[in-house]
Structure 1
Amino acid sequence: MATKNTLTSDDWIKAAFRALTAGGVQAVRAEAIARDLKVSKGSFYWHFKDVPDLKAKMLAHWAREATDTIINEVEASQRPAEEQLRLLVCAATDDRNLPYGGLLADSAVREWARFDTSAAETLKAVDQRRIDYVADLLGRCGFSARHSRSGANGLYGALIGLEALAASGLADLRADLLGLLEALLHSRDAT
């Protein structure tokens, strides 16, 4: 059995995301998460002041790990922009979200943001950062500023929609998103 000394705040945050993904924001409760982790509720207070503190740390963690870490990995590759776009799609569709509840973790944050100002502000900032980064990469590929922004919006919107389809078994998230990226890159050559 895990103890308060063996669990990290990241363990609690991952468990909280699993609860969020499975049951919505109302499922993010210290007792329920402690049961999932097989520890006492007292262990929760070793890492967090209260549930609002946990939620704030969840949002910061999500913004950092699901956006900044991925962008930093792609930039560190120092590959040409087209290859960086492909790397970005692969990173955005890999298995790193499994400890957080899987494919629908981002969707769960979107649902949370519908009813919570802090989550909505974080989501908007994350969406903006992701779209700006894709637009920057498209610009480095030779797209005009207008087409870079439009392409970034389309590709990012497709990611959001394809996540939902893939969760229902109706899409292959990575293959479909890579196919859309290739069509977008080809459209630049056709103009």
Structure 2
Amino acid sequence: MARSKPVLHRDDPKAEPLVGNIKVTREDWLNVAMDVLISDGVEQVKVLALADRMAVSRSSFYWYFKSRQDLLDALLQQWEETNTAGMVAMAERAAPTITAAICNVFRCTANSGLFNTALDFAVRDWARRSGPVRSLLDRSDQRRMEALSRMFARYDYPEFEAETRAKVLYYMQLGYDVAQLNEPNEERVGTVPEYLRIFTGRDPQPGEVEEFQAYAMEQWKQAR
């Protein structure tokens, strides 16, 4: 049976995929492992299967990783450096108003480079079967929540209210993505003004919503 072409993420989408005995990079191993983690779950992230997908010898794996566990640890590190760091950075980003600050956080919903929703789901599923991953997920959730709480506090919300509004914002967003509503992008960004009023109790200022809407539509356009 002929092998399928490797699934590699290259900077140049027109570049030929690596095949045969051509050496692959550490990033290639991570990218293909990430694809499998998201699509099939952590149980299917196996060295031989990944090598077969890239049509290379599994011996090259050991140039970059000591073991399968080393690869899994690298995937978790990449998840933290993308999703948790991305959300924290957006929550801490300077903004003139709380509504503008939340629009910054909303950028995580539009840009997978800031927050990869599919990867977050995969790690949460993984955490159901792994105590250490559950602990890591709990710490990451806590970091995100604390950053969002501090964001509200910067705009003079009392501590308890800041924490509560942060929870509403965070858990609503997670649940929204889990629901996979498949609504048109135009419809989703059209609801932003009302969500901002619900999350903050304040009206967005002129230009804030339009700036985010333009950003989101451009990100979704590029992702097609």
| RMSD after superposition | 3.0
Deviation at 1:169, TM superposition (A): 1.7
Q: CA separation in 2, counterparts of 1:72 and 1:4?
A: 38
Q: Does 1:68 align with 2:81?
A: no
Paired residues of 2:149 and 2:162 also in contact (CA < 8 A): yes
- For structure 1, which runs of at least 5 residues remain unmatched after alignment? none
Q: Residue in 1 aligned with 2:174?
A: 160
User: Measured at CA, do residues 73 and 187 of structure 1 come closer, stay the same or move farther in structure 2, by a change above 3 Å?
Assistant: closer
Q: Residue in 2 aligned with 1:132?
A: 146
Q: Does 1:123 align with 2:131?
A: no
Which of the two has greater helix per residue? 1
Q: Does 1:169 align with 2:177?
A: no
Give the alignment partner of residue 7 of structure 1, picking from 21, 25, 31.
25
Q: Residue in 2 aligned with 1:34?
A: 51
User: Measured at CA, do residues 157 and 170 of structure 1 come closer, stay the same or move farther in structure 2, by a change above 3 Å?
Assistant: same
Question: Number of residues paired by the alignment?
Answer: 183
How does 1:13-162 map onto structure 2 within 5 Å? Answer: 13-72=30-89, 75=92, 77-80=93-96, 82=98, 83-96=100-113, 103-162=117-176
Q: Residue in 1 aligned with 2:222?
A: none
Q: CA separation in 1, counterparts of 2:34 and 2:190?
A: 26
Paired residues of 2:128 and 2:134 also in contact (CA < 8 A): yes
- TM-score w.r.t. structure 2 length? 0.69
Paired residues of 2:91 and 2:104 also in contact (CA < 8 A): yes
Tell me the secondary structure at the aligned position of residue 80 of structure 1: coil
Q: CA separation in 2, counterparts of 1:130 and 1:27?
A: 29
Q: CA separation in 2, counterparts of 1:30 and 1:177?
A: 44
- The superposition leaves residues 25-63 of structure 1 with CA deviations (integer Å, 9 ceiling, x where unpaired) of 111111222233343212211111111111111112211
Q: CA separation in 2, counterparts of 1:49 and 1:32?
A: 17
User: Measured at CA, do residues 15 and 184 of structure 1 come closer, stay the same or move farther in structure 2, by a change above 3 Å?
Assistant: same
Give the alignment partner of residue 183 of structure 1, picking from 181, 191, 198.
198
User: Measured at CA, do residues 174 and 125 of structure 1 come closer, stay the same or move farther in structure 2, by a change above 3 Å?
Assistant: farther
Deviates more, 1:59-68 or 1:128-137: 59-68
User: Percent of counterpart pairs with the same letter?
Assistant: 23
Deviation at 1:19, TM superposition (A): 0.7
Paired residues of 2:108 and 2:114 also in contact (CA < 8 A): no
Deviation at 1:14, TM superposition (A): 2.6
Deviation at 1:110, TM superposition (A): 0.4
User: Measured at CA, do residues 64 and 144 of structure 1 come closer, stay the same or move farther in structure 2, by a change above 3 Å?
Assistant: same
Q: CA separation in 2, counterparts of 1:177 and 1:155?
A: 14
Tell me the secondary structure at the aligned position of residue 96 of structure 1: coil
Paired residues of 1:21 and 1:104 also in contact (CA < 8 A): yes
